[in-house]
Amino acid sequence: MAKKVHVSETPATQLLKASKVAFTEHPYEYLEHGGALHSAAVLGWNPFAVVKTLIMQDQDAKPLVVLMHGNRKVSTKNLARQIGVKSVVPCAPEVANRHSGYLVGGTSPFATRRTMPVFIESTILELPRILINGGRRGYLVSIDPQVCVDVLGARPVQCAMAEELS
C-alpha cells in the first residue's frame, strides 16, 4: 500500500486555499541542484509543464519574479526589453531567499515575503495544468496556469530560450 505523504500547509497553499484555487499536491524527494528536470522525472511530468519560480532583479536591484518552463532558460536581454528596464540578472540565492521568504529550490510565487512584479512565459498559459512550487523543497502543486494571472497578476512575456542540457 502506498504511503500517503502529508505535507503541512505553507504560506503558498494557504493563499491558494484563501483564493479558492483548486490544486493537487505532488511531494517528491528533493535533490540539491536537481531542479525542475529532476522533479519532472520523479513525478512523471513533462519538464515543459513544470514551472520554475526565479527571483531576479533589475539594474536598480528591484526584485521581480519570472515563471519559466522547467526545460527552458530565461533570455534576460529579451525580458529586460519587454518590461522596460536596462538589465535583468538572477538574484544571488541568499538575496532571493530574503525577497521571497522561501529557500531557493522551494520558492513559490504565491505568498512571497515581498510583493514583487511577476512575469510568466506566455506559452505556459497555453498548458492545461502546470506543476509549480508549493512553498517548500520537494513539494509541487498542480494548478491551472491561469491562476498565475488571476491571483498573482502575472504579466505574459516571451523570453524563453532552449535549455542547454549537460
CATH number of the domain at 152, please. Answer: 3.90.960.10
Comparing CA positions, the residue from 91, 132, 72 lying closest to residue 108 is 132
Comparing CA positions, the residue from 35, 75, 37 lying closest to residue 157 is 75
Q: Is pTM beyond 0.95 here?
A: no
Would you say residue 3 lies in a domain? Answer: no
Would you say residue 49 lies in a domain? Answer: yes
Would you say residue 1 lies in a domain? Answer: no
Q: What is the pLDDT of residue 39?
A: 97
Would you say residue 121 lies in a domain? Answer: yes
Would you say residue 4 lies in a domain? Answer: no
Distance CA 142, CA 132 (A): 6
pLDDT of the chain along its 166 residues, tens only?
444 555 679 999 999 999 999 999 999 999 998 999 999 999 999 999 999 999 999 999 999 999 999 999 999 999 999 999 999 999 999 999 999 999 999 999 999 999 999 999 999 999 999 999 999 999 999 999 999 999 999 999 999 997 655 4
The single residue listed with the C-alpha cell 515575503 is 113
| Amino acid at site 137 | R
Would you say residue 95 lies in a domain? Answer: yes
Give the domain range for residue 49.
11-162
Would you say residue 6 lies in a domain? Answer: no
Q: What is the pLDDT of residue 95?
A: 97
Q: What is the pLDDT of residue 7?
A: 64
Q: How many domains does the chain have?
A: 1
Would you say residue 28 lies in a domain? Answer: yes
* Phi, psi angle pair for 89, to nearest 5°: -135, 155
